Amino acid sequence: MSKEQPKGDFRQLEIATLGGGCFWCTEAVFNKIKGVKNVEPGYSGGKLATPTYEQVSTGRTGHTEVVQITFDPNTISFRQILDVFFKMHDPTTPNRQGADVGTQYRSIVFYHSREQKTTTEQLIEELNNVKVFDSPIVTRVEPFKAFYKAEDYHKEYFKRHPEQSYCKLVIAPKIAKLHEIVGVSLKGNNTQKF
């Protein structure tokens, strides 16, 4: 079992562990956000130690494809991380994101502190109350227990394979949608708010 920690000086940094469908999509989105220091694809929430992609893909291990996000709370808050998370996937479909079906694609927040739990539950309640989505949010909120880093070939998949059909048809539109969202800044020379 691994409780991965970010490299370097992480005393001022925080960690969020989120599952919102295929981790290639979620990683690509959060890698663009200012204040996010690292995004690591992996697996959480299952009963098998050191799972492989092939095992998780069966849907029988109980794991979810997640990203573990290391972020600077002085630049971006956990609430802002959640705002992006809820806008970039469908939190109303149990065990499904588009064509990706199975428990490994469920919408879930693995909280690392009581504050993260409270913030997540409050945001879900707010979104449901104002009916942001046509159906109620089914995102699960569970305590973080362990994170298992995905195989190396999953890391920065979108960046390394932009011409692959899944990247063009599923991930690229999510990246484009970042420019429509207001709240935090994109990384790099792009000062446009989204």
Domain boundaries, the chain: 14-180
Q: How high is the pLDDT of residue 184?
A: 58
pTM exceeds 0.75 for this model: yes
Is residue 128 within a helix (H) or strand (E), and if so which, with residue range? helix 114-129
Q: Give the active site residue among 22, 29, 109, 184.
A: 22
CA dist 171 and 40 (Å) reads 16
**Residues of the chain scoring pLDDT < 50:** 1-2, 5-6, 189-194
Fold of 14-180: Peptide Methionine Sulfoxide Reductase; Chain A (3.30.1060)
Q: Which two tokens stand for residue 128?
A: 């449901």
**Cβ atoms 106, 43 nearer than 8 A:** no
Q: Is 22 a residue of the active site?
A: yes
> Could you tell me which residues come within 8 angstroms of residue 153 by beta carbon, excluding any fewer than 6 positions away?
none
Q: How high is the pLDDT of residue 154?
A: 93
Collapsing DSSP to helix, strand or coil, 12 comes out as: coil
**Cβ atoms 134, 113 nearer than 8 A:** no
Q: How high is the pLDDT of residue 126?
A: 96
Q: How high is the pLDDT of residue 194?
A: 31
Q: Which tens digits make up the pLDDT trace of 175-185? A: 888 777 655 57
